[in-house]
Amino acid sequence: MDITDERILELIKNEKTLNEGFKLLMTKYQERLYHHIRSILKNHEDTDDVLQNTFIKVFKYVRKFEGRSNLYTWMFRIATNESMTFLNKNKRSSEFISDIQIENTKKTQFNQSELDGEKIKKVLQGALQKLPVKQKEVFSLRYFEEMSYKDMSDALGTSVGALKASYHHAVKKIEAYVTQLYAY
């Protein structure tokens, strides 16, 4: 979608075009937010609940949005908080890949020929579920959304150095997971 955030905010801040502006906002960012929430919560139904709650919260506060960060990183933080609240409320937990598991993984040849597009998606889905939430966030933003470390720092309130380290660990853990499944 080509419409700029400035234009969307202009529409939202006008009472007459509020609904139109908000629909455009949802359309522009719904897929990215869905993917981010889904990478934390695992299933579609929970993701749907949290995504709706996220947009309701966005609607409530967007007219007061001051533009200190960019619009997407602001909504991203709301989505992350809503996801964490959901996880805590429902006492969900993930089984994480530990650093020990990475060390214990033999360095083997990775049999890439076994992996086609769909398999890769499924494998990455599984691998993402094994990451701690923070690493999941960082990996999703960097690998899937191709966000710069500067923007990520604004979104997550973490230093660029810490983010780079977190991404590095996340990549290694995913590799370990994939290699365990498909190595020879």
Partner 1 sequence: MKTEIKEELIEMDSILSKFDNEKVFLAPDDYYDRMQNAVLKKIENDGKSQQRIIRLSWIMGIAASLALILGIVFMMGRTSTKQNALSIEEVYEYLDENVDMLDDEAITNIAKDYNMNFDDFYYSDDLNEYLEENIDDISEEDLEQIF
Residues that bind partner 1 (CB under 8 A): 19, 22-23, 26-27, 30-31, 34-35, 38-39, 44, 47-48, 51-52, 55-56, 59, 110, 112, 115, 117, 120-122, 124-125, 128, 142-144, 146, 168, 171-172, 174-175, 178-179
Q: Give the alpha-carbon dihedral of 132, 25, 18, 69, to 10 degrees.
A: 60
Query: 88 CB contacts (<8 Å, ≥6 apart)?
Result: none
Task: Tell me, rounded to whole angstroms, the distance of Cα 83 from its chain centroid.
Answer: 10
Cβ proximity to partner 1: between 32 and 68 the closer is 32
Cα angle 175-180-184, degrees, rounded to a multiple of 5: 110
Cα separation, 72 vs 56, in Å, equals: 15
Cβ proximity to partner 1: between 68 and 117 the closer is 117
Cβ proximity to partner 1: between 77 and 172 the closer is 172
Min separation Cβ 34 and partner 1, Å:
6
Question: In the chain, how many H helices and how many E strands?
Answer: 9, 0
Min separation Cβ 125 and partner 1, Å:
5
Cβ proximity to partner 1: between 7 and 121 the closer is 121
Min separation Cβ 117 and partner 1, Å:
7
